[in-house]
Amino acid sequence: MKSSNIGGQAVLEGIMMKNKESYAVAVRKPDQTIEVKVDTYKSFCPWPQLTKIPFVRGVFNFIDSMILGMSTLSFSASFFDEEEEESEEKKQMSSEELEVAKKKEEKTENLIMGGTIFLSLIIVIALFTVLPSYVAKVALTKGFIHGYTGRAVIEGVLKVLIFIGYILLISRMKDIQRVFMYHGAEHKCINCIEHGLPLTVENVRRSSRQHKRCGTSFLLFVVIISILVGMFIHIDTLWLRVIVRIALFPLIAGISYEIIKWAGCSENPIVGLLSKPGLWTQKLTTKEPEDDMIEVAITAVEAVFDWKAFEESL
């Protein structure tokens, strides 16, 4: 199987597909038509050469994915606002005034997006670093565990439980269930392409909804590798231990990225075995899509990727 290097993300009632610097967002609007936005995204990193260095590019890819993900999610959500009609104030504006208002809205959205990403990072640090470290320290102090290995094991178990628990919790939400269905459609499209099948609804439906290059697998590898790294951190002071963990995140993200990138283009049995936990976890974050969701996914793919040329190259 040859990797297409195309990636994507499920959004609200739609899918974003990215091929190199080009990306397309296809959204099924309330009137059932499909809106498509095609644009380019360049890394936030001002030094492009850094985004190509193995074990370094992973952290930049992670941040870029968050930025682009929030932006495309905001775009998809704009079609489902409660106020579908323009306000009377906007109707009376001139084209110049509308342009100024649009720029103000974009600036506000960027600020909100930046704040959301920052808040998300704080919550992630609190849940996956501070909380497990604190619980493990208390367990060590009370004599429930002994040594740094036991401490690392307790932290690791808590991280995995929090990760799985979070997925199970949000999967109960109706909107998230539909997002997971679109997530499944995204994976099925990519699998269909990479197995050399014409991109049709029937072929996509028969394809697997699990993929080795999924972001879910990446996050699981981050958790697992952070557990392994934690076994070598012999620091008793909680705040210093947390700071060291945060400082090591670029290394952990870099290793995780290289693993899933390697897995996505390899049929090696060992690589397949390493990918199993991520593929199992994807059974929670992907659901079988409906045909109209598959149509949206195909639309997003075809806007940025020539699958017929790729098929000929296999």
H-helix or E-strand spanning residue 6:
none
Please tell me the predicted confidence (pLDDT) of residue 94: 67
Report how far apart, in Å, the C-alpha atoms of 50 and of each of 29, 47, 257 are.
38, 6, 14
| Averaged pLDDT, 229-251 | 85
Please tell me the predicted confidence (pLDDT) of residue 91: 55
Q: How far apart are CA 215 and CA 238, in angstroms?
A: 30
| Averaged pLDDT, 6-18 | 95
What are the phi and psi torsion angles at 24 (to 5°)?
-135, 140
Domain boundaries, the chain: 7-77+97-313
DSSP 87: P
Tens digit of pLDDT for each residue in 34-44?
A: 999 999 998 88
User: Tokens standing for 165?
Assistant: 């628990």
| 134 class by beta-carbon count within 10 Å (0-12 exposed, 13-18 middle, 19+ buried) | middle
Q: Average model confidence (pLDDT) for the chain?
A: 87
Q: Is the pLDDT at 3 greater than 60, yes or no?
A: yes
Q: How far apart are CA 13 and CA 78, in angstroms?
A: 11
Please tell me the predicted confidence (pLDDT) of residue 239: 85
CA 194, 200, 202, 203: dihedral to nearest 10 degrees?
-10
pTM of the model: 0.85
User: Tokens standing for 284?
Assistant: 């929670």
| Averaged pLDDT, 293-309 | 96
Q: Is the pLDDT at 198 greater than 60, yes or no?
A: yes
* 20, 68 contact by CB (below 8 A): no
Closest CA to 20 of 304, 312, 307, 296: 304
What are the phi and psi torsion angles at 248 (to 5°)?
-85, -10
Comparing 9-13, 82-86, 262-266, 284-288, which segment has the lowest mean pLDDT? 82-86
List, in sequence order, every beta strand (DSSP E) within the chain. 7-11, 14-19, 22-28, 34-40
Tens digit of pLDDT for each residue in 253-283?
A: 999 999 998 887 777 888 888 889 999 999 9
Q: Is the pLDDT at 227 greater than 70, yes or no?
A: yes
Tens digit of pLDDT for each residue in 161-186?
A: 999 999 999 998 988 999 999 999 99
Confidence of residue 92 (pLDDT cuts 50, 70, 90): low
Comparing 47-51, 82-86, 94-98, 124-128, which segment has the lowest mean pLDDT? 82-86
Q: Is the pLDDT at 82 greater than 50, yes or no?
A: no
| Averaged pLDDT, 294-298 | 97
